[in-house]
A = this chain, B = another copy of it.
Amino acid sequence: MTQLRIAILSVGDELVLGQIDDTNASWLARRIPALGVMAGERRTVGDDQASIARAIVELSRTHSAVVVTGGLGPTLDDLTREALADAIALASGESRAPLEEDPAGIAHLRKWFEEKGRVMPPLNRRQALRPPGTSLLANPNGTAPGIATWSSAPLCVFCLPGPPREMQPMFDAEVAPKIAVDGAVVLTAALHTVGLGESSLAAILGELMDRSRMPSVGTTAKAGIVTIRIRAEGNVIDAQRALDATVDVCRSRVSNIIFGRDEDTLESSVGALLLAYGATLATAESCTGGLVSARLTDVPGSSAWFKGGFVVYANERKMEDLGVPSSVLDEFGAVSHATAVALARGALRRTTSDYAISTTGVAGPTGGSLEKPVGTVFIAIADRARAEVCSRRFQMTGSRQTIRERSTVMALAALRNALLDNPLQSLLWAESERVHVEPL
């Protein structure tokens, strides 16, 4: 496996100030491994010549090449050209040479403005400047040419313009071919699970997560979903084989809680099951207020298995739309097993669907009580075939948003387990305090 590692340097005050997100860096970080090269460190510096130069030199010490985005514009705060010349001088120990004007660059700029029927503003002339011994990279989508030190200088640096629609094509056309390593790739797989906490899952994966292991296995957690991330390196055949083998080992240990791979989502996996069974689904949402339906309808083609849902936020809607008896609301309250069951039952009856999900809880920040503090959530699944409604009580923590998100994930996970009649189902309910089942 190649040891080539490419660093990514983003330049711009607006990035350092967090005024815009650095989408260029994440795009490059996803693109580079596909070329068989490791994505290395990422840095963000402001529009400061010394900081840019220092970052280029430092990153070059630990990486095979540095891809710089931003700072190639025509204005005085675009300093990447000058900083690159500083960096070359620093790295070579030679004296700092002034920038040269590139004739091809001037021609490109003249043509660009001519085609737009405009005169080139004097400021843009700066965009044709580059350090001696470097070469320009063509930019068919904007005024700023890129700059490459490839085959020159003591450094390997590629400077690209900041706008994504200029940077991305330039990277693919001018940079990728130069850094790509034939035959060598970095392949990744993501296995998404729901039902176990990150540490419990790690305990099961055990030695697979040793840092020294290849392919490497790691985990990340987000809103109730824990993802197993696998990375294999080498020539395309060995890497694929090794990746598949590790994926199989992981599956063999926690198959029941893996709901999808890579781009799969919990909602798309539930949709695929419903489609396969030819079954349909309806929702009755109180505390999630439409989040479950929104996630389900985010799946293309969901109309085949999702008929509709009811956001029954107020009690009168619970009664009028889904026939929740007022006696149930009076006796047990809107946040209870009885109401969750009645909501799921009502949605099932009203829509003639095969399954119905209901949610009711205290999302906060107010509305909590001693017996039902903020984070108390009841989730019920009505199953026409089994003629059964199963409600579970959860105690969740976090902000209103977190409680609503986790409730949505738990509702979809509960449906998935019902669809699969999942033996590991119990695992999912580590945080489920009580279960209540009654006939439809």
Contacts and interface: CB of A to CB of B under 8 A. Distances in A.
A92 interface: no
B314 A75 contact: no
A45 B25 CA distance: 12
Given A75-B209, A218-B19, A309-B311, A298 B404 contact: yes
A141 B398 contact: yes
A430 B23 CA distance: 28
A211 B307 contact: no
A123 B300 contact: no
Contacts of A54: 62
Interface stretch (A151-159, A194-202, A323-331, A414-422): A194-202
A22 B22 contact: yes
19 contacts: A16-B41, A17-B29, A21-B26, A22-B22, A22-B25, A54-B62, A75-B198, A75-B218, A121-B203, A141-B397, A143-B199, A288-B297, A290-B296, A293-B313, A303-B313, A307-B314, A307-B317, A308-B313, A310-B321
A79 to B, nearest CB: 8
Contacts of A55: 41
Most buried by B among A21, A289, A317: A289
A308 to B, nearest CB: 4
How many copies of this chain are found per oligomer?
2
A316 B311 contact: no
Contact of A14 (B22, B76, B220): B220
B77 A47 contact: no
A252 interface: no
Given A74-B199, A165-B399, A209-B75, A294 B290 contact: yes
A76 B163 CA distance: 38
**Pairs of residues from A and B, 7 with the lowest C-beta to C-beta distance, nearest first:** A289-B297, A18-B29, A290-B293, A290-B290, A308-B317, A18-B30, A42-B44
A261 interface: no
Nearest to A23: B21
A365 interface: yes
Contact of A43 (B43, B143, B307): B43
Contact of A165 (B21, B28, B398): B398
Interface residues of A, number: 114
Most buried by B among A55, A165, A401: A165
A377 interface: no
A229 B47 CA distance: 12
Contact of A123 (B22, B75, B203): B203
Contacts of A47: 211, 218
Given A75-B219, A300-B400, 9 more contacts: A17-B229, A123-B203, A289-B294, A290-B296, A300-B364, A300-B366, A307-B314, A310-B311, A321-B350
